[in-house]
Amino acid sequence: MKVLFFDFTINFGGAPQGSLYLMSRLKDAGYETGVIDVYGRSTEYHQKALEYGLDYFVLKKNIKNVTIGYSDKPLLRVLKIFSQSFDYISIVIRLFKVIRKNKPDIILINNEKSLFFLNLLESFISVKKVLYFRGEGTPEQLPLRFIKALTHKTDYVVTHSKKAIINLKNAGIPDEHLKYIPNCIEINRFAKPTLSDDLPPKKNFRLILAAARLLKEKGHHIAIEALYKLKQKNIEIDLLIPGVVPTGVEDSYHQYLKKLIKIYKLQDNIHFIGWRNNLLSDMIQCDVVVLPSHTEGFPRSVIEAMIHGIPVCATPVGGIPEAIRHEETGMLFDVDSSEQLMNCLLTLIQNADLREKIIDSAQTFAREYFHPNRNTQGMISILEKV
């Protein structure tokens, strides 16, 4: 059986990393696998695909505009789409040629955009489509057109969050069309990594935010506010903020964060460390991983932190409560509550016994539940049904 993964990858975040690792495991299980990368813009994505030995196809490498933008300005968005129409036509033609030449049995996709382009070819190609839904399934992520496409234009929808299954069912997608498979990380990331050597010196109890783009929905400002409240209690904490402003997004939130840090006089405590090729090498040099997001599917960084004995403080969104049980395998705080985050951090600082209990419980649970073999077998069962 031949399986291809198709995506518009620009930034090499958790979703494309997880997808390439899945394709490599399917390859090891005997499937013919490959990747269709529309733009070929991400060097890390290309290198990882080659490292895994995956066939790699780029559709149109030198397109100038790879994003649309203007999500809050419908008229400008339509005009931008129209201005890029010749590029889109070229992408569809080249996608058709790659599929016709390679004759995949199944194409895996991660998002609505990839599904839309595949569906433009449904009259000309015969291929099964499995969408790996990596989000939480909030109303914003499930417009009516996408719900209809998931229901009628895919053969299966897979998620790694039980919360997403519930949300997709509530949106009207039939139960028999959905499958839950626990998320996972690479098996080699179960071993302790080499320490990164370019972090700021560790002076205090140190936090690091989970890998995230610099967007308001990721809640970076809540972590900054919690640090300020702790500083008012004469508790000095340092914070590392990884990530960059995504391609095609203005940097107003990044500028707001820098202004907030200055107002709170936390310049010596908070450091933006940019894009990280191996965040785990940074995380193991920190005392707590913090995830203050408004919405998540199931972040891989949470699994990595649990496996390596780093307590996690996170909001109970998406699949996070499936891994983090409050004061058992981690700490939970409400979305937008810097007060609750501050109290979670105080508990971890002041209660060493509870901290060690959380570390032990999280490691035991994560090493079994999120093992890649479980994810692989779940996906294989879907591919065989399709």
User: What is the residue type of 311?
Assistant: P
The answer on 203 and 166 residing in a single domain is no
The answer on 196 and 145 residing in a single domain is no
What is d(CA 178, CA 165) in angstroms, rounded to the nearest whole number?
Answer: 7
The answer on 87 and 176 residing in a single domain is yes
The answer on 313 and 219 residing in a single domain is yes
The answer on 379 and 290 residing in a single domain is no
As given in the structure block, the two tokens for residue 271 are 């450091």
CB-based contacts of 222: which residues, under 8 Å, 6+ apart? 292, 336, 337, 338, 341
The answer on 357 and 241 residing in a single domain is yes
As given in the structure block, the two tokens for residue 20 are 């390439």
What is d(CA 152, CA 166) in angstroms, rounded to the nearest whole number?
Answer: 19
Domain count along the chain: 2
Rounded alpha-carbon distances, angstroms, from residue 144 to 141, 159, 172: 10, 19, 10
Residues spanned by the domain of 202: 189-369
Rounded to the nearest 5°, which phi and psi values hold at 106?
A: -140, 140
CATH (domain of 363)? 3.40.50.2000
The answer on 203 and 94 residing in a single domain is no
* 386 residues of the chain, pLDDT tens digit each: 999 999 998 878 788 989 999 999 999 999 999 999 999 988 999 999 999 999 999 998 877 776 666 566 677 666 766 677 888 899 999 999 999 999 999 999 999 999 999 999 999 999 999 999 998 999 989 999 999 999 999 999 999 999 999 999 999 999 999 999 999 989 998 999 999 999 999 999 999 998 778 889 999 999 999 999 999 999 999 999 998 887 667 789 999 999 999 999 999 999 999 988 788 999 999 999 999 999 888 888 999 999 999 999 999 998 899 999 999 999 999 999 999 999 999 999 999 999 999 999 999 999 999 999 999 999 999 999 98
Strand order in the sheet with 156-159: 55-58, 32-37, 2-7, 106-109, 128-133, 156-159, 178-180
| pLDDT score at 347 | 97
- Angle CA 8–12–15, to nearest 5: 75
**pTM here?**
0.83
| pLDDT score at 308 | 96
The answer on 283 and 143 residing in a single domain is no
Enter the DSSP assignment of 264: T
What is d(CA 276, CA 304) in angstroms, rounded to the nearest whole number?
Answer: 15
Which sign, positive or negative, has the C-alpha torsion 137, 81, 95, 63? negative
| pLDDT score at 69 | 62
> How many angstroms separate the most distant Cα atoms in the chain?
67
The answer on 119 and 141 residing in a single domain is yes
Neighbour tally for 118: CB within 10 Å: 23
The answer on 162 and 31 residing in a single domain is yes
User: What is the residue type of 142?
Assistant: L
Please choose, from the candidates 372, 383, 319, 381, the residue with its C-alpha nearest in 3D space to the C-alpha of residue 20: 372
The answer on 207 and 166 residing in a single domain is no
The answer on 177 and 47 residing in a single domain is yes
